[in-house]
Amino acid sequence: MISFSSNLFNLFLIIINCLFQNATSNNNNNDKVPYYVPSSGGGKSLNRVPPTGLGEPLNVIISARSSSEVLTDSGFENYAKSIGFSQECLGLHLGDLQSANLGDGNGWLNETKLYRQDYGDPLLGSCIESLIGGNHFRYWRQNGTKAPSGALFLTVSSEEDLKKAHTIIPNGYNLGRDRLVRNATESNTTFGNRKYSTKVQYVGGMLAPGSVGVNHGISQDGKVAVLTVTAIPKFPSNKNPRPKLLKEPQVNITTGTVIVHHIVT
């Protein structure tokens, strides 16, 4: 009986080790180029917002040294949900698509997808953001032949509510970036069967500080947050701990009324 229990325990350890190796096998990307500076290949670190001709800063990069699964569309969606962002309300997109040139030889391409702050509800929370405003981001993948890093470039900002036509709030580019980074790095984040550890490094030189050419004429500090995300296994659970958005509204819906509470820290 003791021998059987010991063998069973050893088998359990082998399974755990295999799961860990499978989850971390995609993390050996330290020898990869984390990203290429867009301007080095003729690109820009401001995207293009039609029809204004102005742009929004590409102020967050998901480094190519992240776990490979995070750099795929489905893997990135899961990661985004772990830090409090979900797809647009009911999967519907209104308004013009924005484009970016990442200097990888692909020229100006439309956004891959837009994610909105989901206020703790990955199914319908982005609908609330569409009404009352909050954080949101668009992203592009740097994968052309001139700069095939695979890194993801994000334009992150905090916006006004629907009544104010989703214009960017004062200092909204810096605030949007910093709120996303805070949610991602304060502690490990989880969604579904994945846990994520995120490290951040701020770099300068890609974006010129100020408001020249920036949409809405809102100044930004020129800093880009480079995130390196490591995915690790998590056993299935009925709970999906998600970060509280500090000093952001939490939303409860009762009898059709949106009640907004603020977390005081």
DSSP one-letter string for 50-76: TTTTBB-B--EEE-TTS-GGGGSHHHH
Between CA 167 and CA 152 the distance in angstroms is: 24
Q: What is the pTM of this model?
A: 0.80
pLDDT over 70 at 9, yes or no: no
- Per the omega criterion (within 30 degrees of 0), is the bond before 38 cis? no
CA separation (Å) from 186 to 63, 178, 180, 199, 209? Answer: 18, 12, 10, 10, 26
What are the pLDDT digits (tens) for 92-119?
766 689 999 999 999 999 999 999 999 9
What are the pLDDT digits (tens) for 191-245?
999 999 999 999 999 999 999 999 999 999 999 999 999 999 876 555 555 655 5
**Percentage of the chain surpassing pLDDT 70?**
77
